[in-house]
Structure 1
Amino acid sequence: MRTNTTRKAMPYIIPEADFDRKLNMSEKNTSHTESYLAKGVVDFVLPGFTTPYGYRLVKSCNGDHYRMITTSDTPETVYAVKLIFREDIVEAKRTCTQIMVWRTPNVIHDRAVHGLPQIFFQFFLEQYAIVVSDEQQTIDGRRFWERMISWAINTPGYNVYVSDGSEEDRPLSFMTSWDDFYSQWADFCWGSDKDVHTHRLLVISKDKLH
């Protein structure tokens, strides 16, 4: 999850991420949350989302790291997302990538976090215009991106592309439909070959990129 430009770029399927293991366990979650809060946060208002009673939405004072936490005496993280920004994926454009997305599997928080991943994603698109998928994804990460690709293809004003970093000029291929995505691009982008699939990016953009 480094931000340098030599970092390879895309959906290589991985097992459970390290932050999943840290946040899924209650004791580790509260410790991780305490450390996050101690570094400084500010309350955050997410357009289109009403923070439920008993929870806070916060943003780190030290970067683009957002969390929803409980307001209990021992706060617990129930949702987390962290961004990086790059200028080496789309020529002359700054893009953002969610390098950490975590949602609690604990059913007692289901209602609180319902719809939150998609609302955050749409907010980042409004703010930064171009969102690019991470170089490595879990199966859950792939499913989320498939959902957002479907949403973008069916919503006027959004465009979906594949960026093939295995070619020197990193061509962008426009997706014309959901069937086009699944028949031509899904297996092209995701897979278990680290030398191939880490180079292939999915791009959702408010701008027409070609």
Structure 2
Amino acid sequence: MSPLMIDSADFSQKLGLISRNIEHTDAFLTRGTVDFHLPGFLLPVGYRLLKSRYSDEYRLVTTDGGKPYTAYAVKLKFHNEITFPRGAATQVMVWRTPRAVHQRVISGLPQLFFQWVLSEYDIVVSDSEQTGDGQRFWLRMIDWAFSMNYKISVADGTVGEEWHLTPVNSYDELEARWIAFAWGNDREVHSHRRLVISKT
């Protein structure tokens, strides 16, 4: 299940309109949350970083006209079929507001959160579907991972029952051989290929 390239995701359309964002943020808060501390992120006045009590969903919440508004949202899914027997985390929902007033606050937040996920869970696997923004984010994080001497692999689940992981040794190799292999528009193929970043 590799990065199949898709248009804007459903959750992006829900959070993108202010009225729907307020409605979904209110529902998120009503279900129950706890404050979350992200190392390296200085929480500005007027914002709260929250985790759902009942799922691995995190949101940066503020107010818009006195009503709750999500400026950034991410949800995690955990699995081990791709990196068996090791477990891995996947960000299955990542959204950031396009509104200019919040850009200073959320600038750098997706990278910081990704780095925290990797530090907590050791292995992060790309989602089975990505937008163009998602692909660019992953390429940026792979470049960063190479600078940290982490391990990058391409996981292929198109052959047989098991996933096959192939190490990628440099960003040049990624560009020359693996980007076109891993990302594309063929649902039968590209939803069964992933990128993997591992600390070990």
Shorter-normalised TM range: over 0.9
For 1:24, the equivalent position in structure 2 comes to 16
Aligned-partner SS, 1:33: helix
Spell out, residue by residue over 1:14-66, the C-alpha distance to the aligned partner (whole angstroms, 9 max, x if none).
01101111111000000000001000000111011111111100000001100
Matched residue SS, 2:102: helix
Select between 11-20 and 66-75 the one with higher mean Cα deviation.
Answer: 66-75
The aligned residue for residue 198 of structure 1 is 191
Residue aligned with 2:159, SS? coil
Distance 2:191 2:58 in 1: 26
- TM-score, with structure 1 as normaliser: 0.92
Secondary structure, aligned partner of 1:76: strand
Native 8 Å contact 1:96 1:132 kept in 2: yes
| Letter paired with 1:147 | R
Aligned mate of 2:165, from 169, 172, 175: 172
Question: For residues 56-71 of structure 1, what are the structure 2 equivalents within 5 Å?
Answer: 56-71=48-63
In 2: Cα distance, 1:153 partner to 1:123 partner: 16
Deviation track 1:154-201 (CA, whole Å, cap 9, x = no partner) reads: 223x11100111122322111111100000000000000000001101
Separation of aligned partners in 2, 1:79 and 1:65:
11
1:4 paired residue number: none
- 2:71 aligned counterpart, secondary structure: strand
1:33 and 2:18 correspond? no
For structure 2, list consecutive stretches of 5 or more residues without a partner in the other structure.
none
The partner residue of 1:128 within 121, 127, 136 is: 121
**Paired residues of 1:56 and 1:71 also in contact (CA < 8 A):** no
The 2-side partners of 1:79 and 1:40 are apart by: 17
C-alpha distance in structure 2 between counterparts of 1:115 and 1:49, whole Å = 9
User: In 1, Cα distance between the equivalents of 2:192 and 2:25?
Assistant: 33
Provide the rounded CA distance (Å) in 1 between the counterparts of 2:95 and 2:169. Answer: 30
Asked if the contact 2:2/2:156 (under 8 Å) is kept, the reply is no
SS of residue in 2 equivalent to 1:99: strand
More strand by share: 2
Q: Deviations over 1:112-145 (max 9, x none)?
A: 1010000000000010000000000011100100
Deviates more, 1:14-23 or 1:162-171: 162-171
State the partner residue of 1:10.
2
Taking structure 2 as the reference length, the TM-score comes to: 0.97
Identity value in percent: 49
Establish whether residue 142 from structure 1 lines up as the match of residue 131 from structure 2.
no
